[in-house]
Amino acid sequence: MCRLVAYLGEPEATLSSVVLEPEHSLLVQSYAPKEMMSGVVNADGFGVGWYVPWSGDEPAVYRSNSPLWSDRSFAGIASRIRARTILAAVRSATPGLPVEESGVAPFASGPFMFVHNGAIEDFRQKAMRPLRDALSDESYGGLLGTTDSETIFAGLLDRLRDNSGDLGSATTETIRNVSGICAKLGMRATLNLAVTDGKTMSFAHHSTEGPSNSLYFVESGEAFPGAVVVASERLDGDPRWREVPDQHLLTVDGDGVSLRPL
């Protein structure tokens, strides 16, 4: 399993204020998560992506297969980088999948960034081939590793092309496709997905059976006025944090948040 955090707001925020500084920050969640359904720590890498408007539509991404707590270089630059859109994750590798940078989120392609919090059971043994066989040549050719998360992102990219970049529709169709294949194979999948183009974010809170991984959001919270923050675990004790309902899609844009069933 993994943990994620996302920030979208008009005021620019430093990477450190979102990833490192909160009371129960992503840094703390890397070594002391409270609500993970499997695993104990998130020590198999981390990544942070953000958008710099003057440099174009593609995000900047910093990824490492080392634990977040051990990376002094990131800690040194994080307080000096500001952005209005930030997406970050720490990784606990699914058993059987390699610990390497190609498996660390956020994944990026063109203007899009993506995080998957969850796992597909027996992915490499059963689901990898049917999911990858369904990809376009363009998405298949972009694969670098062997993880379920990167494979899901490749399928999502195909649906973004089919839906003219509509994040909500593409995310919903991706959930249905992956869930359908897993159901035919008799496999469980936990599928908390996050995708952004820098202006809008969509989050799926979903599991094919049983409970989903935790997911929360806060609008204009005490620590983040004028912004929406979404996280696997609440970053602080602000009572305005709300849980995303199970089997729902959360969309965040300049107008605020919206929720609808998947």
Active site (catalytic) residues: 2
Cα distances from 161 to residues 112, 155, 204, in angstroms, run: 11, 10, 19
Burial 55-66 (b: 16+ CB within 10 A, else e): eeebbebbbbbb
Name the burial class of residue 52, with classes exposed (0-12), middle (13-18) and buried (19+) by CB atoms within 10 angstroms of its CB. Answer: middle
Cα distance between residue 6 and residue 217, in whole Å: 9
Cα distance between residue 233 and residue 24, in whole Å: 8
Structure tokens at 113: 């960034």
Structure tokens at 251: 């969309």
Asked if 188 and 181 count as a contact pair (C-beta separation under 8 A), the reply is: no
Angle at 5 between CA 194 and CA 7, to 5 degrees: 90
Asked if 236 and 141 count as a contact pair (C-beta separation under 8 A), the reply is: no
Angle at 149 between CA 114 and CA 248, to 5 degrees: 65
Q: What's the one-letter identity of residue 98?
A: P
